[in-house]
Structure 1
C-alpha cells in the first residue's frame, strides 16, 4: 500500500474548515496558535471562493444566521448547522453545497501549505 501514501490526498470539508479557520488571522502574541473554529468573515470568504456568494447566498443572510449563535467563532458542528440553514433557505441540496465548497479548495492567494492527514 505504499503507492497510496505517495498520492496527494484531497481535502475534505473538515480539513478545509481548519484551513479557512486559520486564514487571514491577525497574528497574536501566541506563536503557532491554531484555531479550530471559524469567523463570519472567513465563512464569507469561503462562500465567495466557492462562487455561492453574492448569489444565491448574501452576506446579510450569513450574518443573520451566524449571529444567532452569539459567539465570535463557530465550531465545526455549528458551521454544519449554518450550512444546512443556508442550503434550506436557498433551495440548494446540502450535499451539493458541501461539494461545491470542497471543490473551491484552499483560499486563493494563500501560500500556507497545509498537511492533510
Structure 2
C-alpha cells in the first residue's frame, strides 16, 4: 500500500487563500514576508482565473464590498463573508462558488512552488 505522502495533495479553499495572499506582491513589500490576508487585487485575480469575473461578478461589485471592511487586507473569515455577500448579490450558490474557486487552482504564472500540507 502506498504511503499517503506519495499521493498528490489537493488544494482546499483555505490553502488556495494562502497562495493568493502571497501572489503578485508589490515590490515595496518584503519578499521574505508571508501574508495571511488578501488584497482586493488578489481576490479579483482569483475570481478572474475562476472565470467568475467580469460576469457574473464585477470589479466594481468586489470593490464596493471590500471597502465596507475599511481594511487594506482581509483575513480568511472576512474573505468568507465577502463570498457570501457576492453570492447573495449575484444569485450564486455559496458552496458552488467555493468549489469553482478551488477548481481554478493556484494562480497561473505564479513562479513559486506551492506546497500543500
Q: TM-score range by the shorter chain?
A: over 0.9
Normalised to the residue count of structure 1, the TM-score between the two structures is 0.95
The equivalent residue for 1:87 is: 87
Residue in structure 2 matched with residue 49 of structure 1 by the alignment: 49
Distance 1:41 1:84 in 2: 18
Matches within 5 A, 1:8-87: 8-28=8-28, 30-87=30-87
SS of 1:102 mapped into structure 2: helix
How far did 1:111 drift? 1.8
List alignment gaps of at least 5 residues for structure 1: none
Q: Please give the alpha-carbon distance, in whole angstroms, between the structure 1 residues aligned to 2:32 and 2:55.
A: 36
Q: Distance in 1 between matches of 2:31 and 2:65?
A: 32
Offset at residue 31 of structure 1 (A):
4.7
Q: Distance between the aligned counterparts of 2:10 and 2:32, measured in 1?
A: 24
- The superposition leaves residues 89-116 of structure 1 with CA deviations (integer Å, 9 ceiling, x where unpaired) of 1111100000000000010111211211
CA RMSD of aligned residues (A): 1.3
1:3 aligns with 2:3: yes
For structure 2, list consecutive stretches of 5 or more residues without a partner in the other structure.
none
Q: How many residues align?
A: 117
Cα-to-partner distance string for 1:23-79 (whole Å, 9 max, x where unaligned): 000244645100000000000000000000000000000000000000000000000
**Structure 1 match to 2:115:** 115
